[in-house]
Amino acid sequence: MFRKILIANRGEIALRIICACKELGIPTVAVYSQADQNALHVRFADEAVCIGPPPSSESYLNIPAVISAAEVTNTDAIHPGYGFLAESAYFAEVCEACGIAFIGPSPEVIRMMGDKDEARKAMQEAGVPIVPGTGKLKSPFSSAASLAAEIGYPVIVKAAAGGGGKGMRIVRAPEELADSLEIAQNEALSAFGSGDVYIEKYLPVARHIEFQLLADHQGNVVHLGERECSIQRRYQKLIEESPSPYMTSELRNTIGQLAVRAARSVNYTNAGTMEFVVDDQGHYYFMEMNTRIQVEHPVTEMVTGIDLIKEQIRLAAREGLGYSQKDISFRGNALECRINAECPETFYPSPGKLNTFHPPVGIGVRVDSAAYNEYVITPHYDSMIAKIITWGKNRKESIDRMKRALDMTVVEGVRTTIPLHQRILNDEDFQAGRISTRFLERWFPNSK
């Protein structure tokens, strides 16, 4: 096992990783920017190293600074959390070259999955259904019009280096294609440094369902069921849950086993998520694979009882899984609401000081947060204040708990997404489990 773990992140996920390390008896090192001097991850880690000024490009994304902090503290492993360096194959390689374990999959598999076109090819080879589409297209896109016509409209243009909805454009008719390709290419070039784009058939009423996987270095892979993440706005997830109200245990076994086989076929290790879109007929298609721990991992922890961060650490230390698929069972339902410092109507960030922060408590309620009274949400980082997670013996109990938990949450000083969550939880369609990626369109017709 590791002697000491450095956490290359901030906020609630840094605290979450400290929790796992404390329970495992492993000392921790926090890194922080000048904006985070008073942050809880700094307080609760055993050591802390300032790695630069507030902008993340000069601190949390500064690889030499992070590696130096690991060297001076004699750290033998780094947990990257999510965001920042979590999906940088280059960073994982640098860790390896410095003799520091990267708590995540191999650089090779991070790189493969980071290229959505490569990922699609690998999954197709493993027998996983993918949406009809093209390979990477080259400017001036002379072949695009005929390829898109062959696929059939609507189509969606995606950036190969994208993910999570970045660099995507839905194209409803042939005359919009050329402009969409151009815009997507430019967006991708400035956001990811690569302008590679490709075209897929667009599935209009789709659900976003993702499977959690765990894999050791001996080729053992299990799935921990799915998370339903269809309630999004501008590709920002608002509410996640497990299990999905659409899933049958039969479909879970089918997709789960397929995902397990596919992960094994690319020598996947550590924790990962395979994301699918599922249409109204129950057809499912691979979308992308996330090679990190995800924001919404707690809902899976709540229904399986498995601590995903501890598992990541154990697996990175090359311990075997120690259990198989038949040992994993699912109990009840869990929901997660992301509470952001945002205007609930416009979704504009609302940074500022939390004059009062009182998180909800009580049976079946979990709060993952790094906020406290007088905590300041700075515009330098993302605007999440807390994740409220509820567990119930069934979906109704979990929803009822979430409603009362939100009623008993006090956030003063900034605007939050709590009113929007309350509106969703009180919605008849949501309560009946009738959700899709278009759920919020009715209320926000101008967004995608």
Structure-block tokens of residue 347:
């979704």
Interface characters, 380-419, with ligand MV4 (x: CB under 6 A): ----------------------------------------
Residue 416: Cβ within 10 Å count: 24
- Residue 47 CA to residue 114 CA, distance in Å, equals 32
Q: How far is the CB of 197 from ligand MV4 (least distance, A)?
A: 13
Q: How far is the CB of 13 from ligand MV4 (least distance, A)?
A: 20
Size, binding site for ligand MV4 by CB under 6 A: 18
Q: Which of 120, 292, 314, 415 is catalytic?
A: 292
Asked if 379 touches ligand MV4 (CB under 6 A), the answer is no
CA quadruple 262, 196, 185, 92: dihedral, nearest 10:
70
Q: How far is the CB of 373 from ligand MV4 (least distance, A)?
A: 35
> Is the separation of the CB atoms in 353 and 413 below 8 Å?
yes
Of the candidates 4, 111, 136, 448, which one interacts with ligand MV4 according to CB under 6 A? 448
Interface characters, 90-129, with ligand MV4 (x: CB under 6 A): ----------------------------------------
Distance of alpha carbon 200 from the chain centroid:
22
> Is the separation of the CB atoms in 184 and 169 below 8 Å?
yes
Asked if 202 touches ligand MV4 (CB under 6 A), the answer is yes
**292 in catalytic set:** yes
Asked if 287 touches ligand MV4 (CB under 6 A), the answer is yes
- Residue 201 CA to residue 438 CA, distance in Å, equals 17
Asked if 135 touches ligand MV4 (CB under 6 A), the answer is no
Query: Which stretch in 17-25, 198-206, 367-375, 381-389 sits in contact with ligand MV4 by CB under 6 A?
Result: 198-206
Of the candidates 14, 86, 148, 203, which one interacts with ligand MV4 according to CB under 6 A? 203
Asked if 320 touches ligand MV4 (CB under 6 A), the answer is no
Distance set, CA 240 to CA 236, 282, 390 (Å): 11, 19, 11
Q: How far is the CB of 60 from ligand MV4 (least distance, A)?
A: 23
∠ CA 133-136-140, nearest 5°, is: 110
Asked if 192 touches ligand MV4 (CB under 6 A), the answer is no
- State which of positions 221-250 bind ligand MV4 (CB under 6 A): 232, 235
> Is the separation of the CB atoms in 185 and 193 below 8 Å?
no
Query: Which stretch in 16-24, 30-38, 144-152, 202-210 sits in contact with ligand MV4 by CB under 6 A?
Result: 202-210
**Residues assigned a catalytic role:** 292
Please report, as ranges, the residues that interact with ligand MV4 according to CB under 6 A: 131, 156, 164-165, 200-203, 206, 208, 232, 235, 275, 277, 287-288, 437, 448
